[in-house]
Amino acid sequence: MAREIMILRKLDHPNVVKLEGLATSRMQYSLYLVFDFMQSDLTRVISRPDGRLTEPQVKCYMHQLLSGLQHCHERGILHRDIKGSNLLIDKNGMLKIADFGLANYFSPNQKRPLTSRVVTLWYRAPELLLGTTNYGVGIDLWSAGCLLAEMIAGRPIMPGRTEVEQLHRIFKLCGAPSEDYWKKLKLSTTFRPPAYKPCLFEVFHDFPESSLGLLSTLLALDPAYRGSASSALQNEANLQILLLPDFKLISSFCLQFFSTSPLACDLSGLPVIYNKDDDSTTAIEHRKNRRSRMKHRSKTHRERRIKDQATELPKPENESNNEEPQEKIVELDVQRHEPSSSTSSTSSSAKQSNQTDTLPFLLSPPADSRQKMSPGTHDHPNAGKNIKNRPPLPPSRTRSNNYNDNADNKYRLNQVHRSASTREFRKLSQNNNLETLCI
């Protein structure tokens, strides 16, 4: 795209589309080229159902096309994609060459290799189909010759489906090239077409006689015989084309295309593709479509908002219903962890139940300060071994309840708020220590 922008900025001609500016999109990170709005193109004009173009109309369009090509070639620019859909026409009938995406710079004195994968197949020159990389303005002039015949005939003259079929169509119309042609262009010798004879005048016998000279010049197999856009505008015929064998209508070549009667018409005489009524009708349709889109958008937005409100309303009821079972589950979990053997644990559970009754809006019951369960020894199979390896616990600074394990009152154990399994293992270990000391 950078090369296309540079080429468009270099060109300034009435028959070449003008770059008005650049537009960027921050959302899509894209770059857009801004041109004048064009109502139609040459393909649409040729295929219109009103009938074929007249000779003055063909001359007018052809003069505009060659003028635009002359401007490009004089500035060292090859378009490389001349076809009807790339020749835009505005509401006044002015033809403008557009779509310079395949365009490139060239220099007649310093030739450099260029790719041969350019130009649409129906308008591609034979040297490109044969794979040459050294070419010049001849490829654009060949496409212009195809368009000249298409405007007069009302249809494409060589609609090939493949490159090989396109070559055979070209050689059937223009004749098989000579050996010098292959040597001059340095083309591969693997492909050799049959010995076709040129039949250009037989195929286009109903064309105006003034057009045959320019048509045979632009559709010459050798690109050197096609001349240039300026020579085509000046009606200069190539003598080597005129003296080809089996061409007997030499006098017709001497007729100049643009200077013979009927002359090219003005822009006002070209077929009308644009009407002011079309603008009004399209504007009305655009407004209708815009209003319908806005209505549909507002309707969908309203329906979506109603649906969201309907889904949001029952949420508080569900949450209030779900609070009670969560509280019950938490209470059951707390009661399951508390031991049922000791009296202190039962009293603490009773207090917790009373607290939960007084605070119904809490999701979890408040933790008792006396419940300090060890995370490492609770319900663990190796809890006894871990307790034996630990030093004796210090006396608890909190309130302690003394109780006698045996009738002899062998020891006094301060109650520590651990699980029942922890206290039992602790009691066994201390019994063993006391028995060893007595012995």
Residues with catalytic roles: 81
CA pair distance 340, 345, nearest whole angstrom: 7
Crossing angle, helix 315-337 and helix 343-358, to 10 degrees? 170
Other CB atoms closer than 10 Å to residue 7's CB: what's the count?
Answer: 22
Exposure string for 353-384, b = 16+ CB within 10 A, e = fewer: eeebeeeeeeeebeeeeeeeeeeebeeeeebb
CA pair distance 220, 124, nearest whole angstrom: 13
Phi, psi dihedral angles at 211 (to 5 degrees): -85, -20
Q: What angle do CA 207, 86, 199 make, to 5 degrees?
A: 30
Chain centroid to Cα 165, Å, comes to 33
